[in-house]
Amino acid sequence: MGFFGKTPKPRKFDYTPRYYDEGMDKLKDHLKKYGGDEKDNTEILKQKIKSGLRARGRNIDVEYRREIVKKSNLRLLTILVVLIFISYIFLTKYLPHFIEVFEK
């Protein structure tokens, strides 16, 4: 590249974030204002979020989940029965006719 003309200059890295969280900025400013190590506070915040997610996951009503699973299984069984029925009709009624047509 350098033999035939100027070498190309490296491109600059120009990154603009798509998502800006104002709340996080406010939290950082608040933490700076009232002291404390930012790293420790973010770790505490992460642990609070994790514990909140875990608690939310445990509160799912077991009976409600069983009902949903039962409905899903029933729907799957219904679809399976309908598909088997359609296949049976096709195999008994239409397939012999197609075989006769292609044998001639």
Q: Does some domain include residue 51? A: no
Any domain includes 78:
yes
Q: How many CB atoms neighbour CB 28 within 10 A?
A: 13
Q: Measure the CA dihedral 40/44/45/50, to 10°.
A: 140
What's the pLDDT at 89?
A: 92
Range of the domain at 80: 61-104
pLDDT of residue 21: 79
In whole angstroms, what is the distance from residue 48 CA to residue 42 CA?
Answer: 10
**Residue 21 domain-assigned (yes or no):** no
Residues 6 or more apart whose Cβ sits within 8 Å of residue 32:
38
Looking at the structure of the chain, the number of domains it has is: 1
H or E stretch covering 45: helix 38-58
| pLDDT, position 50 | 73
Report pLDDT for 40.
63
1 within some domain: no
> Is position 18 within any domain?
no
Mean pLDDT by 10 residues, the chain (104 residues): 71 77 81 64 74 62 85 96 95 85 78
Instruction: Decide: 44 and 36 in contact? Cβ < 8 Å.
Output: no
Within a domain: 94: yes
In the block, residue with structure tokens 């992460």:
46
